[in-house]
Amino acid sequence: MRLEKIAIIGGGALGTALAINFSKKLSVSLVVRSGELADEIRRTRVNSRYLPDAGIPENVRVLSCLEDALKDADLVLIATPASAFESVLGSLTEIPHGLPVIWGCKGFSPASGELLSTVAGAVLGQDACFGVFSGPGFAQGLAANDPSAVVVATNSGHEATLAIAEGLSNETLRVYANPDLVGVQICGAIKNVYAIAAGVIDGCGWGENTRAAMMTRAVAEAKRYLERHPADESTLMGLSGFGDFYLTCSSRLSRNYQVGMRLASGDPLPEVLEKLGHVAEGVNTTRLIRMRAAALGVEMPIVTAVDDILDGRQTPRECAAALMGRDIKYEKRDD
């Protein structure tokens, strides 16, 4: 597979940043939601709402017509929120057979709670080539060409996955191939829950001890969750796991972290989300993982606490007291 032309669907921060980053090596078409927005970006070469400090190179084609962007494309990358994922896929059902479709969304289907790969298989067909692009990659750093490393995982075997990883890599972005499509997706979604918890910790004025304890136990929770799926637990220690956990739990650039900080200040969730102005995937993901964990019999006390805070059932300090008051156990368990 030769990768020379890529169509990126989604004119948010991630889509814009990836268009800037990939344009050093690839021919890039960036598809935005309206002709008016496309005209504005072509004129100013800036996405003023989502990434105002990053200039968009002249060689990035900015379009509002998906059909034009797909002409001669070697790869499609969906960079929309998870809530728009299924509708975008529906517009791709007529693409040429064999054209790979990957996504940078880090969440689950809001309607069913299913992995996005399950949705992709149902819409595109199981014989289509599809996968996920994930890891510790904030839009600002990707657009600034900070040296970064991420992973791509697909349903199409070693050679196809490696070819996509090689095609997307450049002098500032190293893309690793990963065979664990399920694990990469779960890790990319679940870390958003713990980023909310990290923001709550800082918003409450607690220090590094508290964040380190939360992150360590979050890894233990995520491991238990992964074990109940056809996933490789070693993925948790890779870029889509620990790498992304570390990034989103330690930076105020994380939208989910910002949600946690503002909730800790006493702001109601609807007001927090309105002020944020961007999608924080962890809000919906928390509820979905809690429901799935309960159905599987997986103990996830931090996820439960975050869900209680989001729904206003308990305050952060009440949740912290409940977590600290749980029965003492061995750190490592066989169950």
- Catalytic residues, by residue number, are 191
C-beta of residue 6 within 8 angstroms of C-beta of residue 44: no
C-beta of residue 95 within 8 angstroms of C-beta of residue 129: no
Buried b (16+ CB within 10 A) or exposed e, 277-312: eebbbbbbbbbbbbebbeeeebebebbbbbbbbbee
* SS3 state of residue 256: helix
The strand pair at 46-47 and 51-55 is best described as antiparallel
Cα–Cα distance measured from residue 301 to residue 323, given in angstroms and rounded to the nearest whole number: 7
The strand pair at 130-134 and 148-154 is best described as antiparallel
Cα–Cα distance measured from residue 238 to residue 260, given in angstroms and rounded to the nearest whole number: 25
Cα–Cα distance measured from residue 29 to residue 249, given in angstroms and rounded to the nearest whole number: 32
